[in-house]
Amino acid sequence: MHLFKSLFISGVALCVVSIACSDAGTNGTGNPSTGQPSAGTATSTAGNAPTNNQAGSVATAGNATTPGGGTAGAPSSSGGTTGTTGTAGTAATTGGSAGAGTAQGGSAGASSGGSTGAGGGAVVTPYVPAWTCLEPTWPTATGSPVMISSSKTIDANQVYDGKMALHDGTGSGDFAKDCSGSGTSNQGTTKPLFILKNGATLQNVVMGKHVADGIHCEGTCTIKNVWFPYVCDDAVTAMSDSSGTVTIDGGGAKNAHDKLFQDNSHGKFIVQNFYGEHLGKMYRACGEGGACDNTKANLTMTNVTAVGVDQIAGLTKGRDTGTFSKICTFQTPTICEQYDTSDSAITDGPDGTTCKYKWTDTQVMLKRAVGVFPTASACPNYLTSGSASNPATACMADLPQCIKYCLPGDNGIKMCDCGADNTYKCHACALPAQEPAKTALAPATALAAGACSGVTEKKACSPEWNICKSDAEYCACVFKPGYLQTADTVWDCVNPWW
């Protein structure tokens, strides 16, 4: 876990977040017989008082928002000279480094603990996750590639083991389309690479770039340890009129321009031990039109990691149900989006009927951001700390604290907690830990950006990480899942994030 770091612009320290403060430091040690001072012990708080005529301790990465120097040690009856007070450290974001105290020779002074620095409060401890997020190593295909010129059928109750070989489409039509192409959402691919009959199993397969409409399940099927580096239209579709159970066990997918799993059935859909990255929607129940009026999705997700996913699941309120547990996210603002029967988004978050989970069933992957946080539950997308035109969200009984995404492209995170007035207060954004996002989205970079010209939010842009200012907002050219219908990188405009 990285600690917050100070951000300095034009010689001014900018506060990234103000959720923790300093406490008292520990005493240094010395040699009272010689009167020689020794350095105080490094602490994670503000500098403490010099004692025993020694140097005050040096604080490192404390949590004071203002400098906190220690108090002087009182002299003992042996007549020692009082050690001088530790000098105050530089004010910083979540605790500047307090300066070392100095000392004077003499006999031992009595010990005296350092005083609490200005703005004192409870020290934040890192969040300890209840489970380990799934972060698999992407597999490399082995053996001879299997080239498929037309849909390959796996018969009922049969098992097809691909032995981790590359399976790719070849030929004309759907099987010639390159799914790695940028800005290509619905490519009109309708033919699947695999058709799984009722009871069939497909396992240990690495898909290629020309996989058309992926896998169609015509009843109960199992898809185990199958990997999609690219997705054209959908990766897996539960077909209409099916009442079977589709089970996705293990495996992963990247680069879906729209949906990954499309459920047109009225059976069950299970996703477990799965990793998804850069997807529009990981799962979508049938929306409106066609056979959708006869569907009733029943989704279960557990031990799933979503990185750069616009929505983990989309369900129709009052018709579909989804149950979620052990969900890990980063750059993924929505766990479960509810839609009306006209396919318009209503809200996200658990309601106990359509979207069923507890906030403690979610975990934001904090190690991907710079900072120390006491919680990792994902905030609902609609949560706000309020403004003149947008009232603050009322506190929820099972969500006293949570993590909300911020920065262009949802690259950064910030903590929101429940205040005395029973509404949420959201603190400032913390930068991502990964480069180039960390440097590209630093406040200094944004403040130096020029005015925007011809910028439209959600529209294609280049180069990635370009930043400009539009009125009170700052716009960045970033990869933003869910907007890939136009390009890999689009403009995302937000208020200043520092």
| Residue-wise pLDDT tens digits, 401-422 | 999 999 999 999 999 999 999 9
Label residue 18 by pLDDT band (50, 70, 90).
very low
- In whole angstroms, give the CA distance from residue 467 to residue 217: 44
- Residue 356 and residue 307 in one domain: yes
- In whole angstroms, give the CA distance from residue 376 to residue 365: 7
pTM: 0.76
- Residue 157 and residue 249 in one domain: yes
Residue 60 has pLDDT above 60, yes or no: no
Q: State residue 186's pLDDT score.
A: 52
Arithmetic mean of pLDDT, 178-188: 64
415 lies in a domain? no
- Residue 119 and residue 173 in one domain: no
Which of 52-56, 226-230, 239-243 is the least confident region? 52-56
- Residue 116 and residue 204 in one domain: no
Q: State residue 5's pLDDT score.
A: 33
45 lies in a domain? yes
Residue 424 has pLDDT above 70, yes or no: yes
- Residue 204 and residue 170 in one domain: yes
- Residue 335 and residue 202 in one domain: yes
- In whole angstroms, give the CA distance from residue 169 to residue 410: 34
- What letter represents residue 409's amino acid? G
Which of 12-26, 119-133, 282-296 is the least confident region? 12-26
- The 3 state secondary structure assigned to 315-351 is EECCCCEEEEEEEEEECCCEEEEEECCCCCEEEECCC
Label residue 482 by pLDDT band (50, 70, 90).
confident
Which of 78-92, 162-176, 177-191 is the least confident region? 78-92
Q: State residue 51's pLDDT score.
A: 36
Exposure string over 428-445, b if 16+ CB within 10 A, otherwise e: bbbbbeeeebbebbbbee
H helices of 91-198, where? Answer: none
281 lies in a domain? yes
475 lies in a domain? no
Q: Find tokens 């083991």 and name the residue.
A: 161
136 lies in a domain? no
User: What is the domain extent for residue 187?
Assistant: 146-364
Residue 336 has pLDDT above 50, yes or no: yes
90 lies in a domain? yes
- Residue 209 and residue 310 in one domain: yes
Label residue 79 by pLDDT band (50, 70, 90).
very low
- Residue 161 and residue 273 in one domain: yes
370 lies in a domain? no
Q: State residue 484's pLDDT score.
A: 63
Question: To the nearest whole percent, how much of the chain has pLDDT over 90?
Answer: 58
182 lies in a domain? yes
CATH number at residue 241: 2.160.20.10
- Residue 250 and residue 350 in one domain: yes
